[in-house]
Chains A and B, each alone.
Chain A
């Protein structure tokens, strides 16, 4: 057992659900107790999703515990098949069903007989993998399923597309700024004259998965989701994949050069150097920013970085290599991928921390006292407590990290966004610090704290205590309304009864 208040990566089934509900017309059925369908709330709230999240539960209750699911799971699958005609239903195990050890594959096989759509069991073990690993695995599983299905039917398209083309693999629902990144990557591909063959899983149809082998190469922008699918396609069709995250000026250039190499090897004759040069020097502002005197002021400032492998590694390189900021430590909660992370950031920070214990991270921040933190929402709150500004760079995130405006982290526009994020974090910190030294914006002493400073009314002790229970931001209003109410009625003393009578009369 582990005492835990907070976790960075969610349970396995969340990963599977993220993949399933990213596809179009794929439905997930969770084998789970009542209340485990919280995923639907998250998707509907965080993504402000307009459509019903295609996830339902086949509820595990006392009866299931006593007698097994029996027909229940099969019925739920066939019912959903008839109601919504999904292309694919993914039966999703949860922690509960993992220990019940029912033969879910058997349910899937039986349901498949009666269903028009395809039915599949997500192959994830709740106690062995987390959200990200499960997402990676489920995506690979679905791709493999449809490739093999097409192969069996003999309608697997042969050969490559005429022009250079790419599959972008790993864009998913509830992913950190994934939608904006996807748009930016498509723009980048258009600039490079590369056709986008498929984007999976977000918005993709499973029927089109069989065309994936036609792409010249696969691009996996995020370390956590998509690698398994790309590796599968490489072993099956020899399609090369590129797993360089185009985040930051240098890495974006590295990614583009790799693309050039990969497609030239297949007979394209492209040279992207001019494009990289043009973008770097004049279109993206990040390179100029790092040369400007603003950024000079950041030189040697201390920062710490924490997040998933992709964003933490990329951010560390940007801060250190492109802005001259001193990254004291960089860390990730993707413990299963620690070696890769160490190798990526080893030369760009003093220390590498790999942990999923937020307490340890909090302590490590307090110990270092950086000028800015780049981390998840958890680190933002640590920063609040310690009065250190924080830029959020990775999940887990809150609703404010699903902005409506265009805010990619990848590609050339991404470099601009990141420059703003970094700069705003540091200047806010500086401003705060200066204010402290010079004693605040307004050095005049505050004489009156409220409009009723010279009140002729007396509050009884209980009423005062009651007033103090009211949240600070409305307390003043309640106090004023109550005193107004008392004055209108010539009451000289305010009791609890008067307070609530006032509340009832004004509805405040």
Chain B
């Protein structure tokens, strides 16, 4: 490490060429179709999109996924075929085979370029076939990887019921369906003692998380007397939360800036800007911020955080003092870096596809504070990084661990550089106090593995001097 002596005063932001590797944002269908159980995702694109999904999703593709390609052919591109009729034909087939509660159309680069009016066609077709159609333009021209979820949730936010005069009966009706579908399981939940909660304005959380993590975070807030009125997205499209003007909303992931904007501007909700509940420090700061908005004195958080840190010690001692480099591809980078710096790591560079300084303001502030408290230099934050330049910097800095995509992981390992595949962070459970250990399990795995092998003498496995 060579840059310890130059401690900058504030976070530096840079922007490079945008020549970096990341997943196409249409990959969001892979986790969203699993999360929203009654949905069907139709990706309107070409063979390229299909090939990506097929290979990136690996074995999931064989589990009869509730997503498919509407593969555009030459006739579609040259408008010899009528796109409305074509989409109608496919959607009717989907309705017949799968009968979903919602069809989500994912727009791609191709639909952008040929200017297919998906937003215009959707309401017409929706009326004609009787299934809601949500349009999300999750394309590689505009977005990277996890931002795909952002475009879908921003579109879904428009579909959340508002408090119409019929809200109560509608709610009953919705509950009736819910009860029916869950065989009455949810009854206890409905009866839950209101007395356990402090009286506060309704709070809706947004961001797609696996159900166990939803439960954990909900319980975490319950301990502070905060009631979570709903999640965007919920388990089923038919259970989207009510959003009234004046409701409070809070994001649980750093890549949801469009959704946040939509909730504020279109649904007139109030955004609680907080660090994200990733790592025990983030989780505590997230809860504290929500408490402070509702004038609640948080109880037992310091102890809880300390207790989690204590349970992490065996992992933390493996990474303390080591350096970590984020090449950047999924927008979780700031939060992860902040947590790992708190663990005692040094981070020279955080690459990130897109940096929304307003939506991530609280997270950036916590990052800065964490660096100061830990006495480490502030990382440079590189938006739209250039992978080629990054590889040169990685070589120069000789970092201990690189968080990167699969395209670079094996070549770096062959050159003796420890890597962790970044995509795993988006699929692993990393939120809340409970899952802090899972993050460290991922981060330390390459170090633990390579520790086991270190005496074998084969850490550099390419012949010529690393041609990076």
A residues with a Cβ closer than 8 A to B are 1-7, 10-11, 13-14, 32-38, 40-42, 44-45, 48-53, 56-57, 59-62, 65, 76, 83-84, 94-96, 99-100, 126-128, 130, 378, 381, 384, 396, 398, 461-462, 465-466, 469-470, 496-497, 500, 503-505, 507
Contacts and interface: CB of A to CB of B under 8 A. Distances in A.
Pick the most buried of A3, A32, A34, A384: most chain B CB atoms within 10 A of its CB: A34
Given A1-B73, A4-B50, A38-B24, A59 B18 contact: yes
A85 B169 CA distance: 71
Nearest to A41: B406
Contact of A127 (B19, B73, B144): B73
B211 interface: yes
Nearest to B391: A52
B112 A65 contact: yes
Contact of B21 (A37, A465, A470, A500): A37
A128 B77 CA distance: 12
Interface in B14-46: 18-25, 44, 46
The 5 closest A-B pairs by CB, nearest first: A35-B24, A33-B140, A40-B407, A50-B414, A381-B62
Interface string B117-137: 000000000000000000000
A45 B419 CA distance: 14
A96 B70 contact: no
A127 B74 contact: yes
Given A33-B139, A127-B73, A50 B18 contact: no
Interface stretch (B85-93, B240-248, B286-294, B355-363): B85-93
Interface in B53-90: 54-56, 58, 61-62, 65, 67-74, 76-77, 81, 83, 86-87, 89-90
Contacts of A462: 188
A387 B60 CA distance: 19
Contacts of A33: 24, 109, 139-141
Interface in B276-302: none
Contact of A99 (B62, B77, B468): B77
> Is chain B's interface secondary structure helix, strand, loop, or mixed overall?
helix
Contact of B51 (A7, A40, A384): A7
Contact of B411 (A3, A49, A95, A398): A49
Given A40-B407, A56-B388, A60-B141, A35 B68 contact: no
Contact of B93 (A3, A11, A62, A504): A3
Contacts of B87: 1
Interface in B395-413: 405-411
Given A40-B21, A51-B411, A62-B142, 12 more contacts: A3-B69, A5-B68, A7-B54, A13-B48, A34-B24, A34-B141, A35-B22, A41-B21, A126-B48, A461-B188, A466-B212, A500-B216
B342 interface: no
Contacts of A14: 51
Contacts of B388: 56, 83
A35 B145 contact: yes
B52 A38 contact: yes
Contacts of B307: 504
A130 B406 CA distance: 25
A212 B155 CA distance: 58
B3 to A, nearest CB: 24
A14 B216 CA distance: 43
B219 interface: yes
B141 A65 contact: yes
Nearest to B83: A1
B18 A11 contact: no
Contacts of B65: 5
Nearest to B415: A50
B113 A100 contact: yes
Pick the most buried of A33, A35, A45: most chain B CB atoms within 10 A of its CB: A35
Chain B interface size band reads: 35 or more
A4 B44 CA distance: 10
A10 B109 CA distance: 18
B308 interface: yes
Contacts of A130: 47
A60 B109 contact: yes
Contacts of B52: 35-36, 38
B405 A469 contact: no
Contacts of B114: 99
A258 B114 CA distance: 51
Given A33-B139, A34-B140, A470 B71 contact: no
A75 to B, nearest CB: 9
A306 B61 CA distance: 19
A57 B19 contact: yes
B354 to A, nearest CB: 11
A62 B109 CA distance: 10
Pick the most buried of B65, B83, B140, B406: most chain A CB atoms within 10 A of its CB: B140
Nearest to B315: A507
Contacts of A42: 55
28 contacts: A1-B44, A1-B73, A1-B83, A2-B69, A4-B50, A5-B65, A5-B67, A10-B51, A11-B48, A33-B24, A35-B140, A36-B52, A37-B21, A37-B407, A45-B406, A50-B411, A52-B391, A52-B468, A83-B388, A84-B467, A95-B46, A95-B47, A127-B73, A398-B58, A503-B434, A504-B433, A504-B434, A507-B437
B22 A34 contact: yes
B12 interface: no
A44 B410 contact: yes
B343 to A, nearest CB: 15
B462 to A, nearest CB: 5
B109 A59 contact: no
A48 B410 contact: yes
A506 to B, nearest CB: 9
Nearest to A10: B51
B372 interface: no
Contact of A1 (B55, B71, B216, B467): B71
B141 A61 contact: yes
A99 B78 CA distance: 9
A23 B54 CA distance: 26
Nearest to A98: B77
A462 B283 CA distance: 24
B215 interface: yes
Contacts of B409: 44
Given A35-B52, A38-B56, A127-B77, A1 B70 contact: yes
B462 A51 contact: yes
A336 to B, nearest CB: 15
B311 interface: yes
A61 B408 CA distance: 23
A4 B69 contact: yes
Interface string B288-329: 000000000000000000011001000000000000000000
Contacts of A83: 388
Pick the most buried of A59, A94, A504: most chain B CB atoms within 10 A of its CB: A504
Given A44-B411, A50-B462, A99-B110, A500 B50 contact: no
Nearest to B387: A56
